[in-house]
Amino acid sequence: MLFTELPLLQRPAAAAAAGFTAVEFWWPFGEAVPSDRDVDAFTSAITDAGVQLVGLNFFAGDMPAGDRGAVSWPARAAEFRDNIDITVGIGERLGCRAFNALYGNRVDGIDPNEQDELAVANLAEAGRAAARIGGTVLIEPVSGAPRYPLRTAADAIAVIDRVASETGVRALGFLCDLYHLATNGDDLDKAIAEYGDRVAHVQIADAPGRGEPGTGDLNLTTHLAALTTRGYTGWVGLEYKPTTTTEASLAWLRQHP
């Protein structure tokens, strides 16, 4: 979501030039199974920039068109399964161990229970693949997508626990995006107190608006401190929409080194 002024393969170098040592990406290809050439070009862009890839989404459909993942989407389940080894393989090449599996929207004419059962099976398969390299599949509540069923921290934890209970796969973790939770009306203080020790990755944007910190009402400093108190020591991804350019939007960060 940052450095979108540039073509995708130029963004890792731009992040490095801005002082970042790590980056994360949504699925960077137009299809679930990209060519070897495209995968090589992406991995080279990361390594040539000298940054660490710390988060990568699985294939999630057409995000600009409103898709929000294929995990529970029967018509695209095969694409998701085909995508698992490719995503984890990229992670293995680049040292990335966190893989975001967007759950998927509810589909007209499909029983939600059927979608949830499919999700359990697909997440278990993804979890087994990630576990082979010491990785974690991330489960994320999302806002702004009315048909996306995971909205709160409790929703995400319930999916993680169901997969563990029904399949024995435990390589799943909670992606705590403070913007999405706040926008959905979740109580951030309560969510962090109850589930802070289950958090596997954190992302931030201010709310309302999803701009950089300081453009909304969230006390992100306080919430991040609470997560640290609950034991979180990982990365914090900047998943916001710059109000102007990416470079200008980083002024807040330079005030909080």
Instruction: Tell me the residue type at 14.
Output: A
Q: Crossing angle, helix 112-131 and helix 77-94, to 10 degrees?
A: 20
Question: CA 156, 157, 159, 164: dihedral to nearest 10 degrees?
Answer: 150
Tell me how far apart the alpha carbons of residues 139 and 197 are, in angstroms, rounded to a whole number: 15
Run of H or E residues at 245:
none
Catalytic residue among 31, 92, 239, 247: 239
Given a contact cutoff of 8 angstroms between Cβ atoms, the answer to whether 12 and 45 are in contact is yes
Strand pairing report for 172-177 and 236-238 = unpaired
* Residue 114 among the catalytic residues: no
Dihedral sign of CA atoms 212, 149, 137, 84 in order: negative
Determine whether 52 is exposed, middle or buried from the number of CB atoms within 10 Å of its CB (0-12, 13-18, 19+).
middle
Catalytic residue among 24, 79, 140, 194: 140
First to last CA, the chain: 21
Q: What is the DSSP letter of 111?
A: -
* Whole-Å CA distances, 47 to 13, 39, 76, 85: 9, 12, 31, 20
* Residue 239 among the catalytic residues: yes
CA 171 to chain centre: 15
Positions marked active-site? 140, 239
